[in-house]
Structure 1
Amino acid sequence: MSENVLTIENATMQFGGVVAVDNLNLKVDKDQIVSLIGPNGAGKTTAFNVVTGVYAPTNGAVWFEGRKIIENTPHGKMKKLYKGQNASKYSHMIAPTPDKITQMGIARTFQNIRLWKSQTVFENVLIAKHCRRSTNLLSATFRLNADEEKRQREECENLLHVLGLEDVRNELATGLPYGLQRRVEIARALATEPKLLLLDEPAAGMNPQETEELTAFIDRIRTDFRLTVFMIEHHMDLVMDISDRVYVLDFGRLIAEGTPAEVQNDPRVIDAYLGVDEDA
């Protein structure tokens, strides 16, 4: 029986009168690569922002490794504005900040690469380690954290070696080719020691060769780091090649789910997304 890592339960995200995510339910099982697809504006990144604490959902809950980590219910003015379902099912507000979500073991990358411009590849990755530090201001001031700092630097060096980035460790991260910048961003996420990795359109802006290399890269890190991966992606070759399960959003609503083959042949998906001519 598969072990569930992430569950999004009846999640609705409403901005004013606009429902961006409408009663979303999905599950991500351990060691799987699960993809969330759909047209632009379907609510995919909004769903990621709910999971990672950027937004508190208007309604619903998120579970991680069997523990409820996020919950909300319509309150204040939203009680009257709310257009979603299950308004009376939830009664508590659990809204951890993104840094707390990261400490729990959920890391993410972004659709638009967000590397620190003035930092090298190594420095970008090392900074991400700070969420795992056990030291405080006093111990840092008096250099009582030297052993921990040394260990974290060694871990970053090893991570860059494993990911094939050691040759560019001293390069400014934002000066690298686009495909390598994506790898550095993923390396930075891996430095937080996640159990669940969220990738928001990792192949955006890549050419076919870079996309093919990234596909193999994601599959390899899933195995090498024993990770569960939840991914938003528009490149269907990538999605169909490595996904164990696919969910499809359209106008904030889940319209299909299943294996890549099942989703690819679903008439609703073809009408809403896969059958659209991108050049039209």
Structure 2
Amino acid sequence: MKNQVLKVENATMQFGGVVAVDNLNLEIGEGEIVALIGPNGAGKTTAFNVVTGVYQPTNGAVWFQGEKIIENHPQGQMRKLYKGQHAGEYPHVLAPTPDRVTKLGMARTFQNIRLWKSQTVFDNVLIAKHCRSTSNVLSATFRLNRREEAAQREDVEALLETVGLAEVKNELATSLPYGKQRRLEIARALAAEPKLLLLDEPAAGMNPQETDELTAFIGEIRDKFHLTVFLIEHHMNLVMHISDRIYVLDFGKLIAEGTPAEIQNNKRVIDAYLGVAEDA
């Protein structure tokens, strides 16, 4: 494997008596496109939420670019701990918030599109630049950050050109066709300048042509932006065509890991998810 970007170690996420993710272990190397697949309710989005700091895991740890960023052991009451604060007080918990995880170099999209409906395409992407801003309340109030704002706007212009949305930059986000709304959501994630891009069912609701365009688009942005991509997806043609490796969840448990060819021929995966051929 290339330089490790993400490592999930023994991650468990329990909600009362329901174990949504059960002792999950996975690794993703630099520049890879890795898919997480499984039936509905298998725990895929929950796993994403653990990785990105939305959920504090019941147990386990998340490593990003060689640094442990999230950790919890089942010792006493769960507590929030910002990295570096009171590190010795609760050594069993490390839980940065999603905004801090984003600043570390992760960005994600969601299964249900979450755009700013009353904002233009341009402003939807510009908002994401906030996480990289060095200004504060004082500098913003007195417009001391004009150079930084100008640079951010130039970056957004260039990004929209790269992703093919420059011509619609002044349109309301919700006026775009569905496929372009998905592309806009990915562009907004790219504006946060991630090293790891997490895509939660990016092809959901797309027609075959839009899905083919998205498949090519993901490969293009991986190369142009030097990204590592971790995606959840149900469209098997997309997954099998673009993934370097695939992990398979079923009822929260990892049941298989391998190349697309290995996953396609894995009987346990076929039985649990891909389905058995009629003549089998």
Q: TM > 0.5 between the two? A: yes
Whether 2:44 is the aligned partner of 1:41: answer no
The one-letter code of the counterpart of 2:255 is: I
After superposition, the Cα gap between the structure-2 partners of 1:276 and 1:181, relative to the gap in structure 1 and judged at 3 Å, is: farther
Alpha-carbon distance between aligned partners in 2 of 1:231 and 1:29, rounded to the nearest angstrom: 14
1:60 is paired with a residue of what secondary structure? strand
8 Å CA contact 2:75, 2:92 repeated in 1: no
User: Counterpart in 2 of 1:156?
Assistant: 156
Segments of structure 1 that go 5 or more residues without pairing to the other structure are 79-89
Q: Deviations over 1:64-99 (max 9, x none)?
A: 000000001224479xxxxxxxxxxx9610111100
Q: How does 1:130-141 map to 2 (within 5 A)?
A: 130-141=130-141
Structure-2 change in CA distance of 1:227 and 1:113 (3 Å): same
Q: Which runs of 5+ in 2 are unaligned?
A: 79-89
Aligned counterpart, 1:68 = 68
**Could you say which residue in structure 2 is the equivalent of 1:82?**
none
Q: TM-score if structure 2 supplies the norm length? A: 0.93
Q: 1:167-224 CA distances to partner (integer Å, 9 max, x unpaired)?
A: 1100100111100000000000000000000000000000101000000000100001
Aligned pairs, number: 266
Q: Within the alignment, does 1:232 sit opposite 2:226 as a pair?
A: no
The aligned residue for residue 6 of structure 1 is 6
Q: Write the mapping of 1:164-183 to structure 2, written as runs, cut at 5 A.
A: 164-183=164-183
Report if the CA contact (8 A) 2:240-2:260 is conserved.
yes
Q: 3-state DSSP class of the match of 2:254?
A: strand
Equivalent in the alignment of 1:195: 195
Q: Distance in 2 between matches of 1:21 and 1:13?
A: 5
| Contact 2:173–2:181, Cα closer than 8 Å, also in 1 | yes
The equivalent of 1:262 in structure 2 is 262
Deviation, 1:264, is 0.8
> What one-letter code is carried by the residue in structure 2 that aligns with 1:101?
V
- SS in structure 2 of the partner of residue 45 of structure 1: helix
Measured in 1, the distance between the counterparts of 2:77 and 2:182 equals 41
Structure 2 CA distance, aligned partners of 1:135 and 1:6? 30
Residue 150 of structure 1 aligns to a residue whose secondary structure is helix
**C-alpha contact (below 8 Å) 1:200/1:232 kept by paired residues:** yes
Segments of 4+ moved more than 3 angstroms = 75-78
Supply the distance in 1 between the matched residues of 2:72 and 2:253 (Cα, whole angstroms).
Answer: 19
Q: Give the Cα–Cα distance (whole angstroms) in 2 for the partners of residues 120 and 4 of structure 1.
A: 37
CA contact 1:31–1:229 (8 Å) conserved in 2: yes
User: Per the alignment, do residues 236 and 148 of structure 1 end up closer, same or farther by CA in structure 2, a change over 3 Å counting?
Assistant: same
Matched residues in 2 for 1:97 and 1:53: separation? 5
